[in-house]
Structure 1
Amino acid sequence: MEANKEIVYRVYSTLLDRLGLDYVEEGPWLIHGTPMLNNNWVLYISVKIAQVAEILKRIMPEIKNLNVSFRLIKDDEQAYELNTGQFDFHDVGKFLTVYCSTEDVAKEVVKTIESLTQDYLGAEVPYSLRVGKNIYAHWATLRGVQDAEVKEVLSLEVPNASKIPFSISRKYRHKGSKKWYGWFYLKDKILRPGPKGEVFLAYSLKSLQFKEVVIKEGRHCVFEDFNGRDIKDRFSWQKKVLVEVGNYIPTAKYVDYFEENGNYYLVIENLKGQLLPKKVEELKSGESWVNLSPAIKKKILNFYKQILGIVAKLHELGYVHRDIQDHNFIVDKNDNLSIIDFELSYNTKSGEPEEPFLLGTLGYVAPEQINLERPTEQVDMYSLGALLAFLIVGEHPSTMISKEYEEVYEKINKYSDSNQLTGLINNLLNPDPTVRPNMLALEHEINKYIEDLQIGKIKSEHIKVHPYEN
């Protein structure tokens, strides 16, 4: 299988060593000095990965001269995870954190760094005070709490304007809650916050219609990869895919795209219904798979069969989804499923995008996708195996699928009422993509299991007690 070009990660400790700055390594961070987090300002310098080496050479000698404590992400790989929200949503953009002992020190740091970072771009630090083009701030305090084990908790806040010592350009000042977007869209409510930006429900007034839509926001410079692409490129790719597949599979159709205040917005159809895991949870009503009635099992597997049909059509159109997981399917009131989120998809016919976008969902992502190999349909087959495991077991696949493949069968079999079903999941999750069943074989096996349910071949005496039940 063809592999993508190898990514070489730069480590940032080299410059600190060259400058004679001592540090300790704590997880993904390089920490210099003693961080102060009680009644003082904390500053963050945000930058794109491609510009890290250059900006460090500019600012770190000045940081050394200012004699301040700081925390620096340790390498390119960790910087990528930071800006894609894999640490914590609130950590996005916090590439370099500077701890200021006094207000005067904070003002001096901002004055010094501001002039050195004007030529660079960085992701927005969520819920912080924007002080300059790439500089953000919080006021740190420790608050006492009534807890026997935890006496104090850290609070990072944006204080009242009267307490802010920085001179902030008008274009960086907080403008309050925004309601109108792109001239035609009135924001209703937030559906999901996240490191990329918000996903929110809005009303479209285009063509004098009052129509519900979903808007996906992409904040500037987030989800930057090692090819220099960011969320704008991901949105452009999703638009292209939705336009091409929207008339062939059930999905949220493309409506509009616009840019505003440096951020990007993808407008799609609002699909009304429930996320698949919520629907399955209701059907199971707290029961394990082995104790469900044949009718409920069949209903859940009919959802799965719909998914197989959707994915098969995608493959026929030349697309590999690459992010098949429980939260990417919506069930409407008539029990019809739609698939969403084509950000990671790849066209095997055209070879687009030239370098597939990174990431995937933990527990669902195939080993070869993690290893950056050229995508094939087999990455979706692996994810379909993880999804089937989720439907049977009722737990996230990341808790079930061990790095030791030999343990997978035993784990799944504890929850299953059929060796055939367990074996099917086990084969789909094989780390060797050439061993996994293809779509026709998978559909055949699911139909066979449903047939066995209908004729009573899977009898109650074969049902084992769920390991978490007495």
Structure 2
Amino acid sequence: MLQYPGLEKAFELSLKVNDKLLTAAGVKFIDDHIWLRSGNFKPIHGWLICLSVRTASLQALLHDLLPILKDGDTPFRIIRNEHEAYRMNAGLYGPHLIGKGIQFHALTEDKGQHLINRLLPLTRTYTGCVIQDCIRISNIIYAQEISNSKPELTKGTFPFTVEKKYRKPASRKLVGLFYLPVEELSYSPKGTIYKGFNFKRPFKWCLIKQGNSHTADDHFGRDIRDKLRWQKKVIKALEPHIRTPKFIDLAEYEAFSFLVLEYIDGIHAGHWLEQIRQGKTWKGLRTVTKKIILEVYLSILVLVKDMHDAGYVHRDINERNFIIDGRRTTYIIDFEMACCLHDGLPDPPFTLGTIGYMSPEQMNYMKPHFGDDVYSLGALLAYFLTGELPDRIFFGEMYTVRGKLQEYAVESRLSDLIIKMTDNNHLKRATMNMAITQMKDLITFYS
């Protein structure tokens, strides 16, 4: 078991489990991986009725639903506990399950309508993230038709009454007063990123990060709005110290939040790497290309070091969170996981990160420290050299990592640095200064 001398837990969670609540109430169920399932929950046809609720409110809602769960009229499956609910709503079990922590199976439209009528008065006060592939009936009730063992949006007449406010998606051309989304750059259930036009500064593009309602909620009642507000604070604090898109505005209305930033005309580091490698292995690259890749990586090290010098740790370093423009200038982005070590904010820190890049101590909810980023940067270096995402490199015992790197013909000096930066013992891990110094020496070697 890993030990973390000198580090403290960032927080202690008293996670509620749902099986005890159901057992005490006399509800019959069986364990099924991450689910507590009614024995006859096997949707093949009919309707799937889903309730989307914030993680911190899950057990309160289940308590209100006990009369429905106990009567055994409608098969169900319920997420096992708050920990799994958080992971599900964060998308770790796939985007198709986000928000679907409580599911009922209605064999017919009549049974579905009867269930919905019972659910409506019990769910009025709850909120949850939007389920993308269902039709929304009320604040947290959604429905999907089941066809050929797979839920799908109904193509015929929808049989259930949809509350008026959910019959048409809210349409708004402008974000705030001045920003017009023009092109969708990326989408996830958590939100959408747009390239937009800034009417406040004519002929200027901007980047608009839309956070969807109640997404990315955590055990402390926070969600994507809190993360975007925190990003605003971090960006404004770091703008004088590092290269990052400048803050422009934060707009909030209805159930959405929009972080508006300066638009950088570039591509993320993963895409840039694909372009420059052109499918070649590290061994197959020309020396000049290797030198360029290492120089860009060094600029990333320096960026993160400058962030550390300003008192912040990033905690979500990965190939998508660095932008490289046409001059090979690098910018660091996405600070929703960042922490200010000077004042210990946010308290508690936001959790999760990117699997494969997270340090062992971050995965175990230890207090943030600069070594978290060093580990992630070591994993990023492995990605730069192999083209493989680090969750394929860093699993099992660390002594196997060298062998995996050798399979990609990574030179021993580079492998040594990766292994030092990703040491599971944070006290033995390389420092940022050490990593920068050694990378400069390696670049000289390729010159």
What is the TM-score when the length of structure 2 is the normalising length? 0.94
- Ranked by relative contact order (alpha carbons within 8 Å, sequence separation 6 or more), the top structure is 2
Determine whether 1:211 maps to 2:204.
yes
Match for residue 111 of structure 1 among 113, 117, 123: 117
Q: Which residue of 1 aligns with 2:68?
A: 62
- The answer as to 2:285 corresponding to 1:303 is no
Structure 1: distance between partners of 2:227 and 2:257? 10
Among 237, 243, 251, the alignment partner of 1:250 is 243
Per-residue CA deviations over 1:16-66 (Å, capped at 9, x if unaligned) read 223333323222111114335444221111111221222111112123336
* Equivalent position SS for 1:381: helix
The match for 1:279 is 272
- Counterpart-to-counterpart distance in 1, 2:18 and 2:386: 43
Structure 1 gaps of 5+ residues are 143-152, 455-470
- 1:457 is matched with none
CA distance in 2, matches of 1:319, 1:211: 30
2:103 pairs with 1:97: yes
Please report how far the alpha carbon of residue 178 of structure 1 lies from its aligned counterpart in structure 2 after TM superposition: 5.2
- For 1:182, the aligned partner's letter is G
Aligned ranges 1:354-369 → 2 under 5 Å: 354-369=347-362
Q: Residue deviations 1:373-410, cap 9 Å, x none?
A: 11111111111110111111111111011231221222
Distance 1:189 1:158 in 2: 29
Give the 5 Å matches for 1:22-421.
Answer: 22-35=28-41, 37-65=43-71, 67-142=73-148, 154-160=150-156, 163-175=157-169, 179-206=173-200, 209-421=202-414
Tell me the matched-pair count.
441
**Preserved CA contact (<8 Å) 1:45 1:93:** yes
- Which stretch of the first structure deviates more once superposed, 174-183 or 125-134? 174-183
Partners of 2:446 and 2:183 in 1: CA distance: 43
CA contact (8 A) 2:144 2:151 kept: no
Note the aligned Cα RMSD (angstroms).
1.7
Offset of residue 432 of structure 1 = 0.7
Task: Tell whether the 8 Å contact from 2:211 to 2:258 is kept in structure 1 after alignment.
Answer: yes
* Larger Cα-atom Rg: 1
Amino acid at match of 1:74: R
Deviates more, 1:340-349 or 1:81-90: 81-90
Asked if the contact 2:38–2:76 (Cα under 8 Å) also holds between the matched residues in 1, the reply is yes
- Asked if the contact 1:46/1:96 (under 8 Å) is kept, the reply is yes
For residues 316-349 of structure 1, the C-alpha deviation after alignment (integer angstroms, 9 at most, x for no partner) is 1000011111111111011111111001001111
Query: In structure 2, the residue corresponding to 1:322 is in which secondary structure?
Result: coil
Residues 427-466 of structure 1 aligned to structure 2 (within 5 Å):
427-454=420-447
Unpaired runs of 5+ residues, structure 2, are 1-6
- Return 72-81 or 112-121, whichever deviates more: 112-121
**Alpha-carbon distance in structure 2 between the residues aligned to 1:413 and 1:7:** 41
**Alignment correspondent of 1:465:** none
Q: Is the 8 A contact 2:317 2:357 kept in 1?
A: yes
Letter in 1 for 2:152: L
Distance 1:185 1:39, change over 3 A: farther
Most deviating of 316-325 and 274-283: 274-283
Once residues 154 and 349 of structure 1 are traced to their aligned partners in structure 2, the CA distance between those partners, rounded to angstroms, is 50
Q: CA deviation at 1:415?
A: 2.5
- Match of 1:267, SS state, is strand
Residues 42-51 or 178-187, more deviating: 178-187
User: Could you tell me how far apart the structure 1 residues matched to 2:348 and 2:97 are?
Assistant: 27
Q: CA deviation at 1:210?
A: 4.2
Shift of 1:180: 3.4
**Contact 1:220–1:231, Cα closer than 8 Å, also in 2:** yes
| In structure 2, distance between residues paired with 1:250 and 1:348 | 20
Contact kept, 8 Å, 1:37 with 1:141, in 2: the verdict is no
Structure 1 residue 441: Cα displacement: 1.2
Counterparts of 2:73 and 2:67, CA distance in 1:
10
Secondary structure of the residue that 1:308 maps to in structure 2? helix
Tell me the equivalent position of 1:14. Answer: 20
Identity %: 32
Larger deviation, residues 390-399 vs 405-414: 405-414
How big is the shift at 1:223? 1.2
Partner amino acid for 2:254? Answer: N
Task: Give the structure-1-normalised TM-score.
Answer: 0.90
Q: Secondary structure at the match of 2:446?
A: helix
CA contact (8 A) 2:26 2:70 kept: no
